[in-house]
């Protein structure tokens, strides 16, 4: 969608969400920003206000279905939402010393259920007026299950597939749905990684690519292009036995 005026972003208290909020913040724009950390969220909100935007912040945990629904309905009542970005997520790796079940539950509660809790109320509001756009932040890590981050990569594969399916379903109802698959982007999430991150992208460049893709209503918005190309080719062309060998050697995500 070109020129959305009323934008809701989850996970706006840090990293990509905060950078996207700042980038959209200007006169005539209303931003609804959520996160859990009050100090960081307030600081980002003030910064966006100083750029001319009208800002409403909400301390809402994406895991809380009722709180999310209430908050999204409240925001939409203030200014009908044009764009909702389901961005909040955690990216923690796994080693076999950890509790696989607890780890996977923790990641899925935020990265999958949290996305559902964001997009379902938004679709309910947008469908009757046949207007709106929903961006789901997945990852290139969602192209194939990764041994170093089994829950994370699978959670991102899940929301990617869900977004692709919903896009086809709601296109005729005037709701645009986009799946965003970043590679490595500079943010607090990647700052803890102590292994090489190929084609690590500056945050502002990533935000430009993201906005460009959403403006064009691209089904899948991927960046950086080099890593997208490599991941896409690997997944399509590599036999599974070779994939197994290569990705077993990858360091575990922090």
- Return the active site residues: 152
Per CB under 6 A, 90 contacts ligand NAP = yes
Q: Is 20 in the site for ligand NAP (CB under 6 A)?
A: no
Number of residues that bind ligand NAP (CB under 6 A): 30
Whose tokens are 């960046």? That residue is 223
In the set 6, 30, 87, 153, which binds ligand NAP (CB under 6 A)?
A: 87
Residue 224: asked if its preceding bond is cis (omega within 30°), the reply is yes
Residue 22's nearest CA partner among 57, 49, 62, 56 is 49
In whole angstroms, give the CA distance from residue 181 to residue 238.
Answer: 20
227 scored as a contact of ligand NAP (CB under 6 A) = no
Distance in angstroms (rounded) separating the CA atoms of residues 156 and 159: 5
Minimum CB separation from ligand NAP for residue 139, in Å? 4
Q: Which is nearer to ligand NAP, 197 or 238 (CB)?
A: 197
Q: Does 118 bind ligand NAP (CB under 6 A)?
A: no
Among 4, 17, 93, 121, binds ligand NAP (CB under 6 A): 17
Q: How far is the CB of 87 from ligand NAP (least distance, A)?
A: 5
Stretch that binds ligand NAP, among 88-96, 124-132, 209-217, 242-250 (CB under 6 A): 88-96
Per CB under 6 A, contacts with ligand NAP among 189-208 are 189-190
Task: Bin 8: left if φ > 0, else alpha if -120 < ψ < 50, else beta.
Answer: beta
- When asked if residue 139 is in the footprint of ligand NAP (CB under 6 A), the reply is yes
User: Nearest-CB residue to ligand NAP?
Assistant: 15
Is 172 in a helix, a strand, or coil? helix
Tell me how far apart the alpha carbons of residues 206 and 34 are, in angstroms, rounded to a whole number.
Answer: 20
- Build a one-symbol-per-residue string for 43-62: x at contacts with ligand NAP by CB under 6 A, - elsewhere: ------------------xx
Contact 93, 148 (CB under 8 A): yes
Interface with ligand NAP by CB under 6 A: which range of 13-21, 73-81, 123-131, 228-236? 13-21
Of 109 and 131, which CB lies nearer to ligand NAP in the complex structure? 109
DSSP collapsed to 3 states, 116-158: HHHHHHHHHHHHHHCCEEEEEECCHHHHCCCCCCHHHHHHHHH
103, 92 Cβ separation under 8 angstroms: yes
Specify the DSSP class assigned to residue 239: -
Q: Are 58 and 83 in contact (CB under 8 A)?
A: no
Residues near ligand NAP, by CB under 6 A: 10-11, 13-17, 35-37, 40, 61-63, 87-91, 110, 114, 137, 139, 182, 184-185, 187-190
């Amino acid at each position: 969608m070109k020129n959305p005026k009323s934008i809701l972003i989850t996970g706006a208290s840090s990293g990509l969400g905060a950078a996207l909020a700042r980038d959209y913040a200007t006169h005539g724009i209303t931003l609804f920003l959520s996160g859990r950390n009050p100090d960081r969220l307030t600081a980002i909100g003030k910064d966006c206000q100083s750029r001319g935007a009208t800002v409403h912040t909400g301390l809402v945990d994406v895991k809380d279905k009722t709180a999310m629904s209430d908050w999204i309905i409240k925001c939409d009542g203030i200014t009908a939402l044009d764009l909702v970005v389901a961005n909040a997520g955690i990216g923690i790796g796994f080693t076999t010393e950890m509790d696989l079940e607890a780890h996977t539950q923790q990641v899925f509660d935020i990265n999958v259920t949290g996305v559902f809790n964001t997009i379902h109320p938004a679709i309910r509001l947008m469908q009757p007026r046949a207007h709106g756009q929903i961006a789901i932040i997945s990852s290139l890590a969602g192209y194939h299950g990764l041994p170093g981050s089994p829950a994370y990569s699978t959670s991102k594969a899940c929301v990617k597939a869900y977004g692709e399916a919903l896009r086809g379903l709601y296109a005729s109802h005037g709701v645009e749905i986009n799946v965003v698959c970043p590679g490595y982007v500079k943010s607090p999430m990647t700052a803890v990684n102590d292994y090489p991150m190929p084609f690590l992208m500056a945050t502002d460049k990533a935000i430009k690519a993201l906005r460009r893709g959403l403006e064009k209503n691209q089904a899948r918005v991927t960046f950086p292009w080099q890593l997208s190309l490599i991941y896409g080719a690997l997944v399509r062309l590599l036999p599974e036995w070779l994939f197994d060998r290569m990705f077993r050697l990858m360091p575990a995500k922090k």
